[in-house]
């Protein structure tokens, strides 16, 4: 076994800031390139994913032959992994502005063109559960049927909870792993033991000094947090530490938002604090905003910072985000594939590949 060499290499479609690429690279898969239509991702991607090329292309207009020539790829390459984690706004339960994200619903079909052309050893698709729930509309069912046809690939296709894979966050993600090399169904490799909690990654004991709302950290650490209005400061001041919610002032006409006054049933997490002893809630693109979910710090009277959101997504503390605004940084972090989850996927592929040699 010690003489076996991992020769796997990957191309990461819709790579954004590199969450999937980073996890795959950490596990030992060589990243050849990341492809994305959003050129604002380029600097972040190239800064962190060493040795990989950022390809600025619209997949609707990009042809497999172009990629083949650009990266000197071969068809039917057993060592090749094609990854397609397309932007998921259209299929997300969080985003209701479907018109704005209409184009994103067909990205999986575009990715399929490249898979059919190259027939790689492995295919990975990671997305919101909505893609799986609406697999007929999203094109996923057709893709799965094609992958399984004539036993071309053994396909794993399931919704996973990423907190089982070393990510300090509750987040359900649809994952497809298609394996052409063996007849084994490959699933992400779970991390044994207790789940990683908020207290395990943030707080003063983890190198996060106490800060006030509106703190601006211009260093690469980006311990930056959004400002709070006077009324939100009052709300947080009486919200119990470690998991407290707006129930603390739900019957207070001055403090409770009109739509939440006397409402003890719905949207309980809004304006809430995280718990120290649990993984965080799902880190969305709006995690820097106290009013968009349970995004308040467990004990400090503020929303979590950009860096805190990043580590709860399992990015390392030295991952550098080359962005220009708080909103852009938060969007890149919130939309990312958690690197530790990507690592769990990669480890399953690497094990299978080495066992097959």
Catalytic residues: 88
Which residue, among 64, 63, 55, 51, has the nearest Cα to 15 in the 3D structure? 55
What burial class does residue 214 get, using C-beta atoms within 10 Å of its C-beta: 0-12 exposed, 13-18 middle, 19+ buried?
Answer: exposed
Q: Are 302 and 290 in contact (CB under 8 A)?
A: yes
Beta strand extents in the chain (DSSP E only): 9-13, 30-36, 53-56, 80-84, 122-127, 154-161, 172-179
Q: Report the DSSP beta bridge partners of residue 126.
A: 175
User: Do 168 and 201 contact (CB within 8 A), yes or no?
Assistant: yes
Look at residues 306, 346, 347 and name the one whose alpha carbon lies nearest to residue 325: 306
What's the helix, strand, coil split of the chain in %, to 5?
35, 15, 50
Q: How far apart are CA 201 and CA 309, in angstroms?
A: 10
């Amino acid at each position: 076994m010690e003489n076996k060499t991992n020769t796997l290499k990957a191309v990461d479609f819709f790579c954004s800031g590199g969450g999937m690429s980073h996890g795959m690279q950490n596990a030992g898969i060589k990243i050849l390139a990341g492809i994305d239509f959003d050129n604002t991702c380029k600097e972040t991607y190239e800064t962190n994913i060493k040795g990989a090329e950022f390809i600025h292309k619209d997949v609707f207009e990009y042809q497999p032959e172009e990629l083949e020539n650009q990266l000197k790829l071969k068809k039917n390459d057993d060592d090749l992994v094609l990854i397609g984690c397309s932007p998921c706004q259209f299929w997300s339960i969080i985003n209701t502005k479907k018109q704005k994200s209409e184009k994103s619903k067909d990205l999986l079909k575009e990715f399929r063109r490249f898979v059919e052309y190259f027939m790689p050893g492995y295919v990975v698709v990671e997305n919101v559960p909505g893609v799986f729930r609406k697999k007929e509309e999203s094109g996923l069912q057709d893709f799965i049927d094609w992958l399984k046809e004539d036993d071309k690939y053994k396909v794993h296709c399931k919704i996973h909870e990423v907190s089982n894979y070393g990510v300090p966050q509750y987040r359900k993600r649809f994952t497809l792993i298609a394996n052409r090399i063996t007849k084994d169904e490959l699933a992400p490799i779970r991390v044994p033991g207790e789940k990683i909690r908020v207290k395990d990654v943030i707080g003063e004991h983890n190198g996060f000094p106490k800060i006030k709302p509106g703190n601006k950290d211009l260093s690469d650490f980006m311990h930056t947090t959004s400002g709070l209005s006077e009324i939100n400061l009052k709300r947080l001041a009486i919200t119990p530490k470690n998991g407290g919610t707006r129930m603390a002032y739900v019957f207070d006409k001055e403090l409770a938002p009109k739509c939440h006054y006397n409402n003890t049933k719905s949207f309980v997490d809004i304006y809430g604090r995280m718990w120290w002893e649990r993984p965080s809630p799902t880190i969305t693109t709006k995690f820097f905003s106290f009013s968009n979910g349970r995004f308040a710090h467990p004990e400090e009277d503020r929303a979590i910072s950009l860096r805190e959101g990043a580590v709860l997504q399992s990015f390392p503390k030295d991952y550098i985000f080359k962005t220009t605004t708080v909103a852009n940084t938060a969007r890149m972090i919130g939309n990312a594939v958690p690197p530790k989850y990507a690592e769990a996927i990669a480890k399953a592929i690497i094990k299978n590949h080495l066992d097959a040699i």
